[in-house]
Amino acid sequence: MARLLHNLLLFTVRLALKIRVFGYWSLIYSYCALCTCIALLKLWWNIILRPSKTFQWGIRETPPACLNDTSLGTHCYVRIKESGLRFHYVAAGERGKPLMLFLHGFPEFWFSWRHQLREFKSEFRVVAVDMRGYGESDVPASADSYRLDYLLTDVKDIVEYLGYNRCFLVGHDWGGIISWLFAIHYPEMVTKLIVLNCPHPSVFTEYCLRSPSQLLKSSYIFFFQLPRFPEFMLSINDFKALKCLFTSRSTGIGRKGCWLTSEDMEAYLYVFSQPGALTGALNYYRNIFSFLPLTQQDVKSPVLLLWGERDAFLELDMAETCRLYIKNHFRLNIISGASHWLQQDQPDIVNTLIWTFLKEGEGRKTYRN
């Protein structure tokens, strides 16, 4: 009898877990369907208003001159033996100086760190990477190739290939997510962690689950789960949606900071108009639910978190909550009037705050080594 009751209880628990998982995924795909319907309505409206321009897009054949600006550094390539992938990066500063590694977000590439490459090459070996699936780095075709463990291994392998066993890690947006998790899983390899407009992954998970406003701001994540259709919507009308991310009044750069020049914008359009470029970038999102919920792990490295007050994608309250997951020195700077694209929007302020953080306390001795 006791065995029967035990088996019945075990069956009930397993059934409850399956129902919970089913409900979780049903909610995700229902919301995904809603986002798709909204996107289709927008597409239909564009076709009615401007039918000749809606389906206009094409590959940019010639890179703009700014991508070959020698003041930013040297273009280099590395093929990682374990994954077999070739990575592109831009490096400046003397070899042997402490490594400062920059990881970009979506939809960006190494060029988003142009202001920081110029600024920090005097004291560091600065390296801005095109992450897996972006820019001139290899673009694996399978969505499964963008799993979290692969992305973290990429960073580890690149640091070691460059001849270092630790670095100052700087990440923005998706690069911020990877930076947080790299500092958690490889604490011995991160001297100091600098994150721009990206909360600790556990904070993001908690806010999405209990904050309707954050869930609404993150609705694009659900839309990006669809195959092919998001790529189509981002590229129609000569990549209008992509342009709007960087230039619109609600989400764009330049309300109180640096404007994105027409040549800068062409650099982005050149990169993301190449075959497969949007798919590689979107595949990060197509694996996001395999990352979440993450175990609540603490960061042991000193952390600087920079946050644009005008971020249209993330709740400002998340920034302060990150303090709960940091077991070392933590500095938070919220920059008034700045957008999500912080390092391009307010480069002078960002660079000054990073310098201050690098030279604080014991960190000053470390970064000189």
Domains along the sequence of the chain with CATH: 65-210+281-368 (3.40.50.1820)
Q: Please give the helix or strand (H or E) that residue 256 lies within, else none.
A: none
The token pair at 246 is 């960087």
Residues ≥6 apart with Cβ < 8 Å to 343: 112, 113, 115, 116, 172, 196, 350
> Is the confidence at residue 231, as pLDDT, over 70?
yes
Query: What count of other Cβ atoms lies within 10 Å of the Cβ of residue 207?
Result: 20
Question: Residue 85: which pLDDT band, with cuts at 50, 70 and 90?
Answer: very high
Cα gap 186→172, rounded to integer Å:
18
Widest Cα–Cα separation across the chain: 79
- DSSP, collapsed to helix, strand or coil, labels residue 86 as strand
Helices (H), 101-173: 114-120, 148-161
Mean pLDDT, rounded, for 146-155: 94
Active-site amino acid positions: 173, 285, 340
- Tell me whether the omega of the peptide bond preceding residue 302 falls within 30 degrees of 0, making it cis: no
Question: Residue 259: which pLDDT band, with cuts at 50, 70 and 90?
Answer: confident
Q: What are residue 36's phi and psi, to 5 degrees?
A: -65, -45
Q: DSSP letter at 294?
A: P
**Crossing angle of helices 2-49 and 229-247, rounded to 10°:** 70
- For the chain, give the mean pLDDT: 87
Cα gap 80→181, rounded to integer Å:
20
One-letter amino acid of 65: A
Question: Residue 364: which pLDDT band, with cuts at 50, 70 and 90?
Answer: very low
Mean pLDDT, rounded, for 304-320: 93
Question: Residue 344: which pLDDT band, with cuts at 50, 70 and 90?
Answer: very high
The token pair at 354 is 């990073």
Q: What are residue 279's phi and psi, to 5 degrees?
A: -65, -45
Cα gap 110→136, rounded to integer Å:
10
